[in-house]
């Protein structure tokens, strides 16, 4: 299967846009440091066997997410509907809000951590990173997971792969080749028959624009053994310029002033 996939990679080619790159991670009216996260700690004890749990949350509230939007028409925005909703717990089960003390209760407690942070923002889009860690009672080790989500700042809708790179398979093949060469394990893919997961980089949560380029992020045990952790790779801006339209490249990495400058120079 891997040989067949690699044979298609020979179709890849590249082209250049001939524009200068200007990357930045803050913009005129919203700065990363002005977006605050809400923190919540709780120690749950249901009085049942293995019913103790330490939970820590750090998330961007709907009010803070609303600050990221540039339009008032936000009712259908994904950026708001994706806000974290923490499950309610009966008050009698919550016995401690200090995570240090919670962890000190012994090995009969499970643990869960959820953390959101703003990874990138410009005039047109924003990237939110979600980190999760879970440890079940009696498990040999905990599991970590990172997800990346991009939203447009006008209506708060998610930005998908095709919006960024179009319907051409050329860039897909470029990314696939790098995944196979740099972070995937061929033996793992064959043994556990996870070849189809190689293309997960096109799915929501697996990719996002950052100040350095495009980050591709896989989950644990998807394309490599657990010892590999969370496989990821970066496609730098210089490479992205070859595969994105000039308009989309500027939306990702230019300020509004820089876009206007490019437009004026075109005349």
Q: What confidence tens digit (pLDDT) does each residue in 192-202 have?
A: 999 999 999 99
> How high is the mean pLDDT of the chain?
84
End-to-end CA distance of the chain: 51
* Arithmetic mean of pLDDT, 117-143: 92
Instruction: Give the Å distances, CA to CA, from 233 to 64, 100, 180, 238.
Output: 29, 34, 11, 15
Integer Cα distance of 267 and 258 in angstroms: 15
pLDDT band at 74 (very low <50, low <70, confident <90, very high): low
Q: Of 33-37, 158-162, 193-197, 255-259, give the lowest mean pLDDT range.
A: 255-259
Q: What distance lies between CA 38 and its chain's CA centroid?
A: 19
pLDDT, tens only, 208-224: 999 999 999 999 999 99
The pLDDT of residue 101 is 66
Place of tokens 């909703």: 85
Gap between the Cα atoms of 170 and 55, Å rounded: 43
Contact between residue 120 and residue 127 where contact means Cβ atoms under 8 Å apart: yes
Are the beta carbons of 61 and 85 closer than 8 angstroms? no
Position 23 confidence tier, pLDDT thresholds 50, 70, 90: very low
Confidence class for position 6, pLDDT limits 50, 70, 90: very low
Tell me the per-residue pLDDT of 46-73, one tens digit each, with 9 for 90 and over. 888 888 889 999 999 999 999 999 887 6
116 and 59 in contact (C-beta within 8 Å)? yes
Nearest to 235 by CA among 254, 207, 255, 259: 207
212, 248 contact by CB (below 8 A): no
Least confident segment among 94-103, 162-171, 186-195, 203-212: 94-103
Position 11 scores a pLDDT of 36
pTM, two decimal places: 0.84
């Amino acid at each position: 299967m891997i040989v067949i996939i690699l044979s298609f990679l020979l179709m890849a080619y590249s082209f250049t846009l001939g524009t200068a790159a200007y990357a930045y991670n803050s913009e005129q009216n919203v700065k990363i440091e002005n977006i605050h996260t809400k923190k919540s700690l709780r120690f749950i004890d249901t009085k049942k066997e293995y019913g103790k749990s330490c939970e820590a949350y750090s998330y961007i509230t709907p009010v803070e997410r609303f600050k990221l939007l540039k339009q008032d028409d936000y009712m259908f925005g994904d950026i708001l509907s994706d806000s974290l909703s923490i499950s309610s717990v009966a008050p009698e089960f919550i016995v401690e809000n200090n995570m240090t003390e919670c962890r000190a209760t012994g090995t009969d407690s499970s643990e869960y951590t959820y953390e959101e942070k703003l990874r990138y923002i410009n005039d047109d889009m924003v990237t939110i990173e979600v980190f999760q860690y879970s440890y079940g009672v009696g498990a040999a080790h905990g599991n970590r997971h990172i997800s990346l989500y991009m939203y447009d700042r006008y209506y708060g809708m998610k930005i998908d792969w095709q919006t960024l790179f179009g319907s051409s398979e050329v860039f897909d093949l470029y990314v696939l080749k790098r995944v196979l060469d740099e972070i995937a394990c061929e033996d793992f893919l064959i043994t556990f028959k996870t070849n189809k997961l190689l293309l997960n980089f096109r799915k929501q949560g697996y990719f996002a624009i950052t100040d350095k380029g495009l980050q591709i992020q896989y989950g644990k045990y998807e394309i490599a053994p657990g010892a590999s952790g969370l496989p990821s790779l970066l496609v730098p801006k210089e490479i992205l310029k070859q595969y994105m339209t000039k308009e989309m490249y500027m939306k990702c990495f230019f300020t509004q002033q820089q876009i206007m400058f490019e437009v004026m120079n075109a005349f």
